[in-house]
Amino acid sequence: GQSLEQPSEVTAVEGAIVQINCTYQTSGFYGLSWYQQHDGGAPTFLSYNALDGLEETGRFSSFLSRSDSYGYLLLQELQMKDSASYFCAVIQRDDKIIFGKGTRLHILP
């Protein structure tokens, strides 16, 4: 079967670093994406990994290990505006995309 697992909630302090993990089980894996969704808003694309390693985009980085079927999103220098839900999504070779259930990130001042 196909499944993605990510924590339902994570809490961190403003200015700190937080890591949101995602493990997946799927056939025909092609890559892993991350999306951010603020309350009442639409999901917005953050990053994509097709190869093992770290991709950095400003304060956000995403990592993938294909052999471990594992990835994470790293958020640095947390700001209050980063409070949102974060979804990992697996892209399969047939272009199907499957979203995880999302991680709600709470940031404390």
Q: Which residues bind another protein (CB under 8 A)?
A: 30-31, 33, 35, 37, 41-45, 48, 50, 85, 87, 89, 91, 95-99, 101-102, 104
Minimum distance between the CB of residue 94 and another protein, rounded to whole angstroms?
9
- Count Cβ neighbours within 10 Å for each residue of 3-22 and write b for 16 or more, e otherwise: ebebeeebebeeeeebebeb
* Residue 72, strand partner residues: 21, 63
Give 73 or 91: the residue with its C-beta nearer to another protein: 91
Minimum distance between the CB of residue 102 and another protein, rounded to whole angstroms?
5
Give 44 or 79: the residue with its C-beta nearer to another protein: 44
Give the up-direction half-sphere exposure of residue 99: CA atoms within 13 A in the CB hemisphere: 13
Assess contact for 46 and 38: CB atoms under 8 A. Answer: no
Give 12 or 32: the residue with its C-beta nearer to another protein: 32
